[in-house]
Structure 1
Amino acid sequence: MQFFKKSWFIPTLLTIVILTAGGLYIGSLINKKAPIAADEIRAQLESMYGGTVNQIAMEDGVYKAEMSRSGASYSAEIDATTGSVIALLQTGERKEVVPQVLSEAEVKGIIAEKYSGEVERISLNTGEEVPVYEVKLSKDPKFTKVTVDAITGKTISENAKETIGENVLITKEKAIAIAQKQLKGEVDDVSYEKTNDGGYYLIEIESADDREGTFQIHAISGKVMSVTWDD
């Protein structure tokens, strides 16, 4: 017990304690891992999930990131020293990107640059895999039907038909008038077919009550050779 009463004992003991505590603290600093750089975490997330990291910041040893993927938004938490994903939560609904369809005026402008005919009818058809505009235009002596991609404006197909033959007595306009006596409505299509007896016109008409008929008009006599009704 006399040992503890020595005047040098307590200061020596305190020195040992301080040195030990300091050594442990310095050791903890040395052994502590430095946080991974934010750019590395960003690259890791984008590689893992195939999205885009829009924002990332570190708080209390944890990276918090906002990212988007396939139209949906997510928030993620990542351990700053290990790079492990702690949590991933979808924060926004996936939005379907709908392509912008060209207007009729824009399509007419595209047609006017390529064709000299006058647009008689233009309609949007969304029943195909890709929406298309079906354009019918007059170009004497041709009647041309053009199909245009409604998104890109690119011409998909074009079809020119003869609408009048040589030495016919019945003009296209007369044939249309004869057909419209059978069914009043809008002319959808006109074509001319050559035959040994003078040829004939095929005229498609759609009425206001949605009836559709194709009329075969003889190009010399003007006789209605046949009528076909679409169901």
Structure 2
Amino acid sequence: MNKRWRWIATTGIFAAAIFILLLAFKPWEGQARVLTEDAVKRNLLAQYPGKINESLKKGSLYRMELETNHGIYEVELNAHDGEIVALHQLKAYTPQPTKPTAVPTATPKPTEAVTTSPTDTGATATPSPTAKPTASPNKPTPSPSVKPSSKPSNNGKLLGEKKAGKLAAAHVKGKVKDVDFKRSKNGSSYYLVEVDVKKRGDAVVQVNAISGAIMSVVWEDEDDDDDD
């Protein structure tokens, strides 16, 4: 009797062991449905757009070579569900920078001075900026109230007769004959320089004694003609 129960117990233990092994290894899963190569490719390209250069099935895995804009990859996928098991980059592509479209721009040309011909219709003569106004033919007494031309200051020091004579001679293009120092009632100082100018006669040039500015020019020959 004891032998019988012992045999039953042994058989039960053996059956339980086999059942446990079956649950652990699940040999029936080897007969599970395997996806086709095209189905696995579609699943891969849906996740990573590109093209598949090579494909190989090995056991329960598909091994494919995928090429995208970023490089070439070796991808391993589960043959049963198409899920990616491993992914390795074989070659990386360097992205090419997009060149901006060149927009032509007009190169500015240097401004050219336009001279107006006297024969042009509607042309208006523009006085030369270097032209200096001539004094009235009448011989008025040089007045210190005449505004001098813009000259640098001499820091309050007198030019001296020699310097004033040179400035006056250069202004009317002549030779100095006489230089007189004058001081007005309001305290301003100036020189009256008599200059001999060829083919024109004598000119009296009023020069500011401090700044050297030409204050006025009076032609003596013109005044003489008026007196006649």
**So what's the TM-score if we normalise by structure 1?**
0.34
When Rg is computed on C-alpha atoms for both structures, the one with the higher figure is 2
Bigger fraction of residues in strand:
1
Which structure carries more relative contact order (alpha carbon 8 Å, separation 6+)?
Answer: 2
**So what's the TM-score if we normalise by structure 2?**
0.34
